[in-house]
Structure 1
């Protein structure tokens, strides 16, 4: 495994990497021999991040074996995340594409990005879809008594309706819509976890910094927090809301499912192939407002959406994903050995 994904807190890529490592170490240690960031001979190299020194290793095929790239983003998804000079942006986009093209095979976390990669000249046969997942031991529902205690700790009224959102504070995450909803629903408590993982390079940094310093009175920004603390907020919340305009397969959605927290999302086509039926879609902020009011006032609708979240969690079980990953690596090892044999002849 080659990865620096866990070096910067508050990124979904880091969460996905840590979940996979935990899964394979605890459930597949008898089948896989895994080393992390070791520059020694191996059968398969799985690249989780696109660091330049990892890119160099892709030119030493005999030493680093079959090259597997994990696609957490494509160039288009970087727009609205980073504010860079145009020439640097072009270099970055070129580098991302060049890295993916160096791979023998790619793994995407959302099937909707397969056509995007095909447009970049990568054959569909070289791409496999494997979804993200979260461990049940890390994200789970609290008891009613635990939630009551948590509300007291956070000085929130017991009957207060709470909406929780998470992600880097940036344009594409729809943070301004989240803040506007707080203004429109003054009796609801809004909480956002996340900050500027990329500092001042974040697109719209100054205006978001101002919002975080002077938010509506019922909106609280808690900054970048550990995953253990995230569990508290999923359980504290009545609804998890992600108003993003552009996503891949956010880990926070699966974390909410695993915590049995109902999920409301902007209606993006890329969600449909992976979590359709497990969340409530909203076309825009006005519809989000309407749905939040309905869920706040209609217990039957609320419980129905909660049940959908529980079903969503079952669809991405650790047992199922362990088998998928082990089968995938075995197939890749077979392809690697077969090609070596052909080349040897």
Structure 2
């Protein structure tokens, strides 16, 4: 089987790019030949799109290989445009996505929220949450100490891993940090490189002049990220919208207590994560968890007990079944 991945994302590492790389590596071990963003004369059995937004490469590929089945991993929907582009972009984006979905044989949805968002796609939708490499993301106290030593951190850490933008909850994170000067609030990630980013100037001011207990460490490569999780006493994600929340699964796989916003897309994590609905509750639960070692231990145990459901091997087996079902339909 030969599959063409369309990722078409340049520059800084993103969740979409990371997922595509790891999926390619795992599927290649299963004997599936995969090209990424390489338009040539080869025959492809499938086109697997990871980034649906208009690009010359995407359109040229779909035209050249017209008739080849297309599946889409719904890494981004209309809701994920929030903060990255002006509100006036939403209508044309919706119209384009509806056209794109009509071209797909199957749409792989990482969460129930995405399944519900794509009601118009009916039988095309398949629920398949993102996986985690459990050999890489695991409890490892030494790696956590290495991270602390590298950044000179000795106090308890409240960690967030995300791009720095309003949708991800950067303002809520910084506001909470001001209420807890006794802890270090560490953010892993960078500001998205887009001119239309909402509140970009305000965000840059925060990053360039943060509160004393807020540390922006920038981008960390995936093969080093597990160290940040293992250094943390609590992982938080105050995001207002996601398609899944892979960083939550990664944190849990490292046995870290997890506190996230109460979103429909996070229902998959309800068996181990604490949730909050507003800023007051966010702060209350930080206080409750950080001041109670016994509670942190029980939440850590819940995270570790849940890690097996993120196993990448389960994901790859299901993905192969999806590929084969689409090909058998031809």
Q: Using structure 2 for the length normalisation, give the TM-score.
A: 0.91
> What is the CA distance between 1:174 and its match in structure 2?
0.9
Q: How does 1:263-342 map to 2 (within 5 A)?
A: 263-272=258-267, 274-336=268-330
- Deviation string 1:98-150 (CA, Å, 9 cap, x unpaired) is 222211221111122223212xx32x21111111012123322223x443344
Rounded to whole Å, the distance in 1 between the matches of 2:322 and 2:92 is 32
Task: Quote the residue 1:34 is aligned against.
Answer: 34
Matched residue count: 323
Deviations 1:271-290 (A, max 9, x none): 11x22212111112222222
The answer to whether the Cα contact below 8 Å between 2:8 and 2:37 also exists between their aligned partners in 1 is no
Unaligned runs of 5+ in 2: none
Alignment of 1:255-270 (within 5 A): 255-270=250-265
Give the equivalent residue in structure 2 for 1:76.
Answer: 79
Determine which of 124, 135, 138 is the counterpart of 1:137: 135
Identify which range, 4-13 or 44-53, moves more after superposition.
Answer: 4-13
- Alignment CA distance shift 1:85-1:115 (3 Å): closer
The equivalent position to 2:47 in structure 1, one of 33, 41, 45, is: 45
Displacement of 1:89 in angstroms is 4.7
Please list, as runs of the form range in 1=range in 2, the aligned pairs for 1:175-324 lying within 5 A after superposition.
175-272=170-267, 274-324=268-318
- Contact 1:107–1:128 (CA under 8 A) maintained in structure 2: yes
Residue of structure 2 in register with 1:340 after alignment: none
Report the counterpart of residue 7 of structure 2 in structure 1: 4
Deviation at 1:14, TM superposition (A): 1.6
Q: Does 1:13 align with 2:16?
A: yes
Secondary structure in structure 2 of the residue aligned to 1:281: strand
Tell me if structure 1 keeps the 8 A contact 2:258–2:273: yes
Provide the rounded CA distance (Å) in 2 between the counterparts of 1:55 and 1:70.
Answer: 17
- Root-mean-square deviation (CA, aligned residues, Å) is 2.0
Secondary structure of the corresponding residue to residue 314 of structure 1: helix
- Equivalence map 1:96-111=2 (5 Å): 96-111=97-112
**Structure 1 residues 198-236: Cα deviation after superposition (integer angstroms, max 9, x where no partner):** 333211101101111111100011122322332221111
Once the 2 structures are TM-superposed, how far is the Cα of residue 60 of structure 1 from its aligned partner? 4.8
**Given that residues 184 and 214 in structure 2 are in contact (C-alpha distance below 8 angstroms), is that contact kept between their aligned partners in structure 1?**
yes
1:343 is aligned to: none
Is the contact made by 1:5 and 1:17 (CA closer than 8 Å) also made in structure 2?
Answer: no
CA gap of 1:2–1:104, structure 2 versus 1, over 3 A, is: same
Q: 1:146 to 1:102 in 2, by over 3 A?
A: closer
User: Aligned to 2:290, what secondary structure does the other structure show?
Assistant: helix
User: Please, which runs of 5 or more residues in structure 1 have no aligned partner?
Assistant: 337-345
Q: What CA distance in whole angstroms lies between the structure 1 residues aligned with 2:145 and 2:69?
A: 51
2:151 is aligned with 1:147: no
Q: Tell me the TM-score normalised to structure 1 length.
A: 0.87
Q: Supply the distance in 1 between the matched residues of 2:149 and 2:79 (Cα, whole angstroms).
A: 43
Give 1:85 deviation, angstroms. 7.2
In the alignment, is the contact (CA less than 8 A) between 1:10 and 1:194 conserved in 2? no
Q: Which is higher, the Rg of structure 1 or of structure 2?
A: 1
Q: Is the 8 A contact 2:143 2:227 kept in 1?
A: no
Alpha-carbon displacement from aligned partner over 1:42-74 (angstroms, at most 9, x marks no partner): 221111112342233334555x62111111122
| CA–CA separation in structure 1 for the residues paired with 2:113 and 2:73 | 15
Q: Alpha-carbon deviation of 1:320? A: 1.4
